[in-house]
Structure formats: structure tokens, C-alpha cells
Structure 1
């Protein structure tokens, strides 16, 4: 096993054996970062065994699996966070150490502590070929729009700021308004993080976009409209969702014409984000109203597909359809292979760090719900899996807010706001 000390804070290494991991604390290390996906080669210890060995030795442990071809901004952010939050020196490894060092130099370059032209000489001085990091930066600089994801860990949701780098105009997609179902308390912290980023980057907000009425968190669209003055938008079929849930909530006074938003998008509608052309795809299946926003080389696919290791979204909510979901996914996969796909949720399967960016090619190649599937096999798989899933814990809380564009209920005479909560409204619910 080869190890290379990069700084007093970071050492990168090839794949260690478990006995080596157990001795790292005695060598002064405080944390292990595993950048290697499971199953790359026979005899590899694997994430679960490495985590147990590391924690058994008193080391903190992070699992940030990457391949050279699929490193994304979220991986760099996770690596940066793991190193910065460690309580001492960090031991990061992959198969050879190259991917770990690549994540380090990309973080250093994006943070302005290293120049792109310094990367390859730095790698050579430490015995590594970092040409892949240079190519990553070139691709990153050429990508339009610029996309920044904000992971909300309580609900596994990702909020996005999507910016035209030329005009500094941006859109906010799927913002979150925090809600704690145990206490009934609300907070604007996730949305305020977005506002702080927008101000810090000198951006102007042109649009506040929801991909669908969310079942697991409140939308902050209305809050952000009041803060920025930007128009809100959602798919035109929101009116069908409003009518469906109007009956569930027994809410005759609810307006079901979509007037809670400034614009309702239909299939094929176009709009501008700065100088960028944007297109709307109607993508039902998860909900009746789901849409995909295609902006430059990026598509915001909400809850149609997840990251390739997580499959696809459920289709058993009121108005959902596995068959419709399959058709929506096929339309998304017909986009160019290099199209970046940004998902609406990530639940950190297997204990890995959160991810939210893939490509059409990666989904077609690696997503087990899609690779080699037919419509018939997909529908059977999706419906069988959905029968095992409990309803989201916030579905009855969130829908009454989100079918009103993120508006909380109006205060009653005592100044407090109250949610409606129908009992036994959803059939065949699993506990």
C-alpha cells in the first residue's frame, strides 16, 4: 500500500487493508475518507467493512465514492467538508490515491487556492497524473448554465440555483421551507441560504420554479417571491392536482385554477433565463403535474429518476402512474447523452455522501431500473416496490401548502396558523 503525505492535513493512499485502517489512529490520523465505489475489484474490503474498522479504531469515516468519469460538484463539496470538519489529519484513499487527490485539487482550485496551470506539476511532484482534474475544470468552465445545489438533509431534498454566467440572471428551482412535524414549527433557513448565495454571487433572480407539488417538504416559492419579486411558475396540470386534493381535504374554497402562480407551463413551452433558452417537458407519473426544465445542457428532472444507484421515483401517490412515469423517463433519456440531469432528492444509499448530478448516458448505462428494461418490466418492478413503501410522513401536511404555491394557511382569529389533516384519506397506506 502506497501513501503520500500532501499536507499536514491530508494524506492520500492506495487501497488499504483492514489491519492498516485499524492502526491509523496510532499514526495520528483522525479521519478516513473512502473515495472508492464498492465492487471495483475482487478482494476489495468494501465500504461496510472499512467503516467498521475505522470507527472501531476511533476514526471518523466518510464514504464519497467516485469514478474519474462521474466526479461532480457535490462530490467535491463532500470531500471538502469531510476534510475541513475532521478533528485532525485525514487519510483519504481510492484504488491508487489519484481520485482522492483529484478531489482535493479541484476543491483547492474552485476555492481559489490553486491555479489550474499548477495542477499537473503538483500531481507530478507527488507521483500522480492529474490530467483528469485539468480536463474536469475545462468541462466545468464550458458548461452552461452554472448549477449550484443545496442539499436539505432533513428531507433529502435538493434546491437549485441555475445561473446564466454571461448575464448573471438566475432561476431558483424547488426551494424548501422548513417544517418540523413534531413541534409544528416552521423556518426559512433553507431558502435564506439561497438568498445569501444569490447576494454573494451578485445574481438577479428571474424565476422561482417548482417542478411539481412536493409531498415531503413545503415549497418556499411564495416566500422567495416576496423577498425577490421574481415570478413563480409550475406545470399547467397543477389544476388537476388542486382539484384532486380539494376533494381529499374537503376544501371547497380552494381556488383550483392555478392562479397561485404567475405562470403555468405546458409541454413545449419556452422561456428565457438571461440569454439562455429554456424548455419545459411535461413529465407525469410521479405526480399529475410534474415537469422537467431543460436549461442549456442541464435538465432538472425532479422525481422521475434518482441517482443511478437509487433507481426511480415512486408512482403511487394520488394521480400517479408507473406507465406514465416510464414514458416521461424515456423522453428524458432521449435528450443528448451528455445532458446533465439534476435530481430532486437523494437519500444517501449505503451511507455514501449526497449526490444529485448524473448524465443521460450514465442513467442509461447504470440505473438498474432503466438499463435493459422494457415498459412492462419497469411497470411491474415499480408497482411491486411501491406496494412496500409507506406514505411520506409529510404528505398530508405539505400538499395543502404546496397546491397553493407555498402559501401557509392564513392566521386565524388568535393569530395562529392551522393545517387541515384528514383522517383515513389515503387508501392502502403502509405503516
Structure 2
């Protein structure tokens, strides 16, 4: 194993053998961060074996798998969080150490502690070629659409603020209203974090957008619209979802004309975020109403494709269709290869860090639900997988709020709000 001490807190290294983990603790390290995706080499120990070795040695362990070509801001922030959580010296390793140092210097630049022009010289001073890090920074500097993500771990949801640096205008996409189903408590911490970011960055809000009526969390669209004055919008087929759930909830007074939103988008509609033009793609399959928003080189695709190692979204909710989802995925994959794809959920397979960004090219190359698939094979795979999944725990809570644009039920005579909970309305009981 080759290593290079970067600071008192960080040493970067190539692959350590499992037998070396006990010695790492003796050398004063308190944590190991593994940056190697499983299967990179036939002889690498792999995530599970490294985690076990770290635990035996009394070391904290974090799995942040990256490749040089697919590093995202989420990976950089996860690496920084692992360093903060360690509270002592960390050994961060990949195959040779370059990716580990790359994540470190990219974080330093993003946080203003290092200048872009200093990166390659810094790498050379420690024996590493950081030309890839310099290229990453150059690409990011040229992005017209800036994307900030907010991960909500309770539901695995990712909320976005996409902004136009030229005009300081933005759109908020798929915000979460905090809800504790055990106590029935509503909170706004997740939405308020978005508002704080908007204020800190001096952004004006042009839109509050939902991609579809969500089944696993309550939408904060109405709350954020009331706070910012920005209009709410969703896909026009939400009216079909309203009619479907109106029957499930036996809710005769529910308006099913989409009037709970300020605008209903159809396929091909356009809208503005500052000087950026957004386009709407109808992306059904997960729900009847799902849409994707393409803003600059960024596409917000929510429950269609997940990150490549996580496959695709389920299609078994009322009104869902695996066949329709396959067609929606193909439309997304027809976007230019360099298009950034931002998904709406991540469930951290194998305990890795949360991820939400990929590209069309990466999906076509590495997503097992895409590679080598045709429609028939995908439908078989998706439907078989969906038969093993329980319904989301909040689906009956969430839909009655989300088909009204995030509006909570009106208070009753005693001043309290009540959710209506139909029994035996859905299949998928856990037993």
C-alpha cells in the first residue's frame, strides 16, 4: 500500500490489504473511507470485507464509491462529512490514492479554501496527477444551470433548487413537508432549509414544481409557494390521479380539475427560470401524472431512473405501468449523452453515500435495468420486483395532501386537521 499524508486529518492511499487494518488503528487512524466501487478489480477485498475488517480493528468505516469520470458534488460532500464524523486521522483509499485526493481538493475549492489554479500543483507536490480534478472544476464553472440538492433521509427523497447564475432566479423542485406518522406531527425543517439556502444565495423563486403526486412524503409545495409568492406547477395529467384517488378516499367534494395548482404542464410546454428555458417531458409509468423537467443541461427525472447501481423506480401504484415507464425511460435516454440526470430518491444500496446525479451516457453504460434490455424483458423484471415490495408507509397519508398541491386538510370545528385513512384500499400488505 502506498500512502501520502496530506494533513494531520487525512492520509490518502492505495488499496490496503485486509490484514493491515489492525495496524492502521495502531498507527493512530480512527476511520477508513473506501472510495472503490465493488468489482473494480478481481482481487480487491470489496466493501463488505473492508467494513468487517474495520469493525474488528475498532475503526469507523465509510463507503463512498466513485470513479474518476463520475464524481459528483454529492460524493464530495459525503467525503467531507465522513472526515468531519471521524473526529480524528482518516485513511481514505481508492486503487492508487488519486480519487481520494481529488475529492479532498474539490471540496477545498468549492468551500473557498483553495483556488482552482492551485489544484494541479498541489497534486504534484504530493506525487499525484490531478488533471482530472482541474477538468471537473472547469466543467462545473461552465454550467448554465446550478443545482443544489437537499437529501431527506427519512424517505430517501432528494429536493432541488435549480438556479440561473446570470439572473439569480431559481425553481424549487419536489420539496418535502416533514411528517411523523407516529405522532401525526407536521414540520417544516426540510422546507425551511431550502428557504435559508435561497436567502443566503440571494435567489428569487420563479417556480415551485412537483414532478408528480408523491406516495412516500408530503409535498411542501403549498408551504413554499405561500412563503415565496412563487406559482406552483405540476403535470396536467394530475387530474387523472385526482379522479383515481377521489374514489379510493370516497371524497366527493374533492375538485379534480387541477385547480389546486397555478399551472398544469403538458408534454412539450416550456417555462422560464431566469434566463434559462425549461422544457416539460411527460414521463408516466410510476404514476399517471409524472413529468420530467429539463432545464439547461439538467433533467429532473424523479421516479423513473435511479442512479445506475439502484436501477429504476417501481410501477405498481394505482395507475402505474411498467410498460409506460419503459417508454418514459427511453425518452429520457434519448436526451444528449452529457445531460445531467437528477433523480428524486436514493436508498443507499450497500450502505454507500447518498447519490442523486448521473448522466444519460452513464445510465446507458451501467444501469442493469437498461443495459441489454428491451421492453418485454424490462416489464418482466420490473413487475417481478414490484411484487416483492410493500406499499410505502406514507402512501395513504401523503396522497390526500399531494393531490391538492401540498395543501393540508382544513381545520375542523375543534381547530385540528385530520387525515382520512381508508382500510383495505390497497394490496401489498406486509404479511
Q: TM-score range by the shorter chain?
A: over 0.9
SS in 2 for 1:278: strand
Residue equivalent to 1:415: 415
Residue equivalent to 1:298: 298
Counterpart Cα distance in 1 of 2:295 and 2:55: 43
1:30-429 equivalences in 2 (<5 Å): 30-429=30-429
Q: Give the deviation of 1:394 after TM superposition.
A: 0.4
Q: Deviation per CA, 1:393-422, whole angstroms, max 9, x where unpaired?
A: 100000001001011111111111111000
- Count of aligned pairs: 431
Conserved? CA contact 1:74–1:354, under 8 Å: yes
TM-score (norm 1): 0.99
Counterpart Cα distance in 2 of 1:262 and 1:124: 55
Counterpart Cα distance in 1 of 2:429 and 2:237: 25
CA RMSD of aligned residues (A): 0.7
Q: Deviation per CA, 1:350-393, whole angstroms, max 9, x where unpaired?
A: 01000000000000110000111000100111111111110001
SS in 2 for 1:205: strand
Q: Give the deviation of 1:319 after TM superposition.
A: 0.2
SS in 1 for 2:12: strand
| Gap runs ≥5 in structure 2 | none
Conserved? CA contact 1:388–1:430, under 8 Å: no
Q: Deviation per CA, 1:63-108, whole angstroms, max 9, x where unpaired?
A: 0000000000100010111112212111100000000000000000
SS in 2 for 1:24: helix
Q: Deviation per CA, 1:230-282, whole angstroms, max 9, x where unpaired?
A: 00000000000000000000000111110110000000000111111110000
Counterpart Cα distance in 2 of 1:246 and 1:90: 54
Counterpart Cα distance in 2 of 1:248 and 1:408: 18
Counterpart Cα distance in 1 of 2:428 and 2:228: 42
TM-score (norm 2): 0.99
Counterpart Cα distance in 1 of 2:313 and 2:376: 16
Conserved? CA contact 2:389–2:428, under 8 Å: no
Residues 1:24 and 2:24 aligned together? yes
Q: Give the deviation of 1:428 after TM superposition.
A: 4.7
Question: Which range moves more in the overlay, 315-324 or 77-86?
Answer: 77-86
Counterpart Cα distance in 2 of 1:186 and 1:57: 42
Q: Give the deviation of 1:430 after TM superposition.
A: 4.1
Conserved? CA contact 2:391–2:428, under 8 Å: no
Q: Give the deviation of 1:42 after TM superposition.
A: 1.6
Q: Which runs of 4+ in 1 moved over 6 A?
A: none
Q: Give the deviation of 1:136 after TM superposition.
A: 0.2
Conserved? CA contact 1:298–1:339, under 8 Å: yes
SS in 2 for 1:23: helix
Counterpart Cα distance in 1 of 2:31 and 2:2: 18
Counterpart Cα distance in 1 of 2:325 and 2:317: 12
| Gap runs ≥5 in structure 1 | none
Q: Give the deviation of 1:144 after TM superposition.
A: 2.0
SS in 2 for 1:365: helix
Counterpart Cα distance in 1 of 2:303 and 2:2: 42
Residues 1:12 and 2:19 aligned together? no
Conserved? CA contact 1:123–1:129, under 8 Å: yes
Counterpart Cα distance in 2 of 1:26 and 1:59: 10
Counterpart Cα distance in 2 of 1:224 and 1:299: 22
Counterpart Cα distance in 1 of 2:257 and 2:266: 14
